[in-house]
Amino acid sequence: MPKTKEERLQVVNKIILEIASRGRKSFYNKRKDRYAEMVIEKGKIYFIDDYTGERVYAYNTVQNAHRGFSHGGTMWGLVNDFREFIVKGEYTNHNNGYGGLYCPHWGYPEEDMKAIQNLAKKLGYLKDN
């Protein structure tokens, strides 16, 4: 498990790049040639959306309502899992619903899901059973 928030942020961004390079290429916008990423600013975690380019406050709040986020609820749950991992330094996969990196509803080929999961295990995001 990576020790610092910055190390965990790097782990999450590597997983996002892997997700964006496979299957339906969630978190990548071809027209704008832009990848999503997570950043830490003044101690808060933000998701930089690949489509809108907006800095999205990566917390579930009534006021926020994830404005600027161009992906659906499954991926919003994953982003919140990522945020929780960065902040707490604990295994957080699927804490925010939809099964996290084990979700069967992404529409990704099984071999792509396995590759994403294997990378996440190697990087310390998922437990290696």
Domain ranges of the chain: 5-123
Beta strands at 44-48 and 34-35: parallel, antiparallel or unpaired? unpaired
pLDDT at 64: 62
Strand-pair partners of 29: 34
7-42 pLDDT per residue, tens: 999 999 999 999 999 999 999 999 999 999 999 999
pLDDT at 16: 98
47-80 pLDDT per residue, tens: 999 999 999 988 776 666 677 888 888 898 999 9
Residue 55's nearest CA partner among 39, 34, 71 is 39
88-103 pLDDT per residue, tens: 999 988 888 788 999 8
Task: Answer yes or no: are the C-beta atoms of 117 and 22 closer than 8 Å.
Answer: no
> Is this model's pTM higher than 0.85 or not?
yes
